[in-house]
Chains A and B, each alone.
Chain A
């Protein structure tokens, strides 16, 4: 099911700005990822659809076991199979089906068209090579440029991502950089081929809040400057609200809610999103008691029947343990996978 953004069209009065139809960069439908484990088959992603357009930021929000990281790993073709098995109706980048491509062709796309930034910046960089060498390597692999060109471009990129004294720091090793600086190096590596789509998997989770603010600002600036699409994976609702126009909320391998980020959390259409909002402490107020979501995210090997969230849901009724809810359109721009989504919306 496609997520409809606010539709453009000449017949709408100027109360709503006409949205330009941007190019759809990535279109994923029916994505399912299974893993073989000693305990049986584990379904990490269960029928997920989403689209990303050029110039927009999509956040995929979820806690542990939600399958958010596995989704993008499947898109990038980096799910090890076996033990993983990726299936989908389609995974299309700019119209071409990615799964039809051989490994050679995928390698051309990775890093050049679709780039990725990971969570642990120190772990993602090779400690044996200098930062300059690693950035230049990406360039050489994709363009076959010369050593000196690669080095020059690496320096330019490091400056662009805000690393001070870039020329001298080219020859430093990853361990000589702080976490925030390493993340900037990763971003430089990701951007050196001017990719159309950037996937950032929890890029700021391991960073201090002041550094996080810097890195998020950098990502947004670069995205605007280069007209990229950005997929941001995170568990932090505030980060998603800050950076992403639209969000997908995932739970136990499925999308349970989707729509404009701020709206999802100010006017939730799914009890999970509501629960998250109530459970998160606020910076500007202390409440008597937070309202937690009882229980814990389910073990992917033992997902409850019916709606996966129902054992933790304060509003669950009989239907919820028997019938699996389907993600459906509840307003023009909102989707929810709750049997009682409309009721929830009308309450607010």
Chain B
């Protein structure tokens, strides 16, 4: 388990610093008769840091932009604006050569354990590939041996190295993906829904493996998921996303015990409690309505159309993600903690058009 690093610890350079990243996609909207080019605002100014040996969980529902964020951090896409710093270097502006070198340090574990492995390669080859590309990690000729060692480290058998991905189960394939990601000894691992496609009984194995490896190797994780309990288990700090923005962030325990933003509160309240446990924030009514279209997001605070606290100010003024006198930053003009177990008094949920 990590020691809880203070989020703005100034005597430490963050491993990753995402600064005001925005991403827009061109989309064709309308029908043949009402042709128009719309802009899909997938990310609208995201800021956060990740420090050494810690796990930042990013949680949010579909359409919040978390997968786009992952792709931008890994430079699979370019941000429309903003910067992504790995240590001191800006991934948005480094020359292509340097980017290839830096890839060694920033790796990814993908959501779909099957699709992310080349079906024609043996798993030993898959894990050895980063070692062949980034020279100097192992003495020449030793790549295969190191690859087999890595496979053993993640719990597979050496002799299975010659097999192909389709011969393994989902959990095993995810282990292969983890072994590949760690082969180049990265400092940062972005995990995009790494356990969502796995059976519950296998999820725990993979989560434990990830935690063990972090303790052993000191690698930082950005752990992206929609399952709130999973994120709670593995993250030191967490960021909650809604419609392309981070609405709340802080140490996991704080955010989960004392959420400040209405969305976080509703989110936690929606999770069905484990048998024998009580629902969190049970007094909150269920969140009504749907996520608005990202092509035409609401003005001001994007959550206001579903928020029971919404007022005029919310439509006019975008709430920034800042400290508001509570334990951690939030992006709501009316942020305040709730009493976790009881009802919430005068609050009634209104769904706004």
Contacts and interface: CB of A to CB of B under 8 A. Distances in A.
**Contact between A and B in the complex (any CB pair below 8 Å):** yes
Interface of A: 63-64, 164, 178-181, 208-214, 216-217, 235-239, 241-242, 261-262, 264-266, 275-294, 296-297, 312
A209 B229 contact: no
Contact of A280 (B200, B286, B288): B200
Contacts of B290: 178, 180-181, 211
A237 to B, nearest CB: 6
Given A262-B275, A293-B201, A209 B169 contact: no
B61 A209 contact: yes
B232 A286 contact: yes
Given A208-B62, A279-B204, A289-B211, A178 B291 contact: yes
Contact of B233 (A209, A211, A213, A281): A281
Nearest to A279: B204
A48 B274 CA distance: 26
Contacts of A214: 286-288
A186 B221 CA distance: 39
Given A63-B201, A241-B272, A209 B207 contact: no
Contact of B277 (A235, A275, A284, A288): A284
A279 B204 CA distance: 6
Contacts of A280: 200, 204, 229, 274
B253 interface: yes
B222 interface: no
Contact of B229 (A179, A180, A208, A283): A283
Contact of B208 (A63, A265, A289): A289
Contacts of A297: 199, 201
Interface string B193-229: 0000001111111011001000000000000001011
**Secondary structure of the B side of the interface?**
helix
Given A208-B61, A213-B272, A238-B271, A276 B202 contact: no
Nearest to A63: B199
B331 to A, nearest CB: 18
Contacts of B205: 292, 294
Nearest to B276: A266
Contact of B200 (A241, A264, A276, A282): A276
15 contacts: A63-B201, A178-B290, A178-B291, A209-B270, A211-B61, A213-B286, A216-B272, A238-B271, A280-B204, A286-B1, A289-B211, A293-B201, A294-B205, A296-B171, A312-B201
Contacts of B13: none
A38 B190 CA distance: 40
Chain B CB count within 10 A is highest, among A164, A210, A217, for A210
Given A239-B272, A262-B275, A275 B62 contact: no
Interface string B180-197: 000000000000000000
Interface in B222-259: 226, 228-230, 232-234, 252-253, 256-257
B275 A282 contact: no
B202 A296 contact: yes
Contact of A281 (B226, B229, B277): B229
B199 A261 contact: no
B280 interface: yes
